[in-house]
A and B are shown apart, each in its own frame.
Chain A
Amino acid sequence: MEEFITTKDIHLYYGEKEALKGINLSFPAKGINALIGPSGCGKSTYLRTLNRMNDLIPSVTMTGSIMINGQDIYSPKMDTVDLRKKVGMVFQQPNPFPFSIYENVTYGLRIAGIKDKQLLDERVEQSLKQAAVWDEVKDDLHKSALSLSGGQQQRVCIARVLAVQPDVILLDEPTSALDPVSSGLIEDMLLTIRDNYTIIIVTHNLQQASRISDRTAFFLNGELIEEGKTKSVFLNPKRQETDDYISGRFG
Chain B
Amino acid sequence: MYFSIRRDKKRMIILADGLDKRGGIKMRKILEEQIENLHQDFAKMGFDVAKSIENATNVFENHDEALAKKVLENDSAINESEIYLERKTAQVIALQQPVASDLRVLITILKASSDLERIGDHAVSVVHSTKRIDTNSRNQEIEDLLVKMSKHVHKMLLDVIDAYVHNDEEKARSLAADDEVNDDYLRQVRRKALDAMQSDPKFVSVGPEYMVIATHFERMGDYVTNVSEWIVYTNTGRIVELGPTDSTRE
Contacts and interface: CB of A to CB of B under 8 A. Distances in A.
Nearest to B237: A236
A236 B105 CA distance: 12
A243 interface: yes
Interface residues of A, number: 17
Interface string A193-223: 0000000000000110010000000000000
B99 A249 contact: no
Interface in A75-133: none
Contacts of B66: none
Interface residues of B, number: 20
B101 A243 contact: yes
Nearest to B15: A249
A250 B102 CA distance: 14
A179 B102 CA distance: 28
A235 B25 contact: no
A246 B25 CA distance: 12
Contacts of B27: 248
B197 interface: no
A247 B22 contact: no
A188 interface: no
A242 B103 CA distance: 14
B100 interface: yes
A206 B25 contact: no
B100 A237 contact: yes
B100 A236 contact: yes
A246 B99 contact: yes
A184 interface: no
18 contacts: A207-B97, A235-B99, A235-B100, A235-B104, A236-B104, A237-B100, A243-B100, A244-B15, A244-B18, A246-B99, A247-B98, A247-B101, A249-B18, A249-B19, A249-B24, A249-B28, A250-B22, A250-B24
Interface of A: 206-207, 210, 234-237, 240, 242-244, 246-251
